[in-house]
Structure 1
């Protein structure tokens, strides 16, 4: 482990200690409020970790229609539904 990576690890620990969170998309915030994890969603929707991460954290990401359909189907199987339009579908 180099000095740079040790410092980076310490920075993450400090952010975690003070409960500093990066900004989430409306959908990411909704998942948090509903008590759902990104991992649960990626497994149920059969989407990649990167896709679910972008949905939850990247405000400029616009999912394909097929992706939103997979999410809605997965959420329905968990007894949830996304209120309103969280996605700008392309």
Structure 2
């Protein structure tokens, strides 16, 4: 499935798109670098490490307290 300008998006990328959020939010709030944020949002096959998943979920729960890692990755 493609969003925007024909880019492939991961489940996390689509979650951000649905809320009108940018990857920069992930960089600023989860403490991941730009390359990791890009892979997380654009590569449906990217598998982050468990510590990275924890940082991301902690940050996302500020927006949606019901979000779980299993919403985005097979954990």
TM over 0.5: yes
Gaps of 5+ in 2: none
2-structure distance, mates of 1:46, 1:84: 17
TM-score of the aligned structures, taking structure 2 as reference length: 0.78
TM-score of the aligned structures, taking structure 1 as reference length: 0.67
Of Structure 1 and Structure 2, which has the larger fraction of its residues in helix? 1
2-structure distance, mates of 1:88, 1:50: 21
Match of 1:33 among 18, 27, 33: 18
**Partner-residue secondary structure (3-state), 1:62:** coil
Counting only pairs closer than 5 Å after superposition, residues 1-90 of structure 1 correspond to structure 2 as 20-77=5-62, 79-81=63-65, 82=67, 85=70, 86-89=72-75
Gaps of 5+ in 1: 1-18
Of Structure 1 and Structure 2, which has the larger fraction of its residues in strand? 2
Runs in 1 of length 4+ with deviation above 4 angstroms?
none
Higher RCO (CA < 8 A, seq sep 6+): 2
Which structure has the bigger radius of gyration? 1
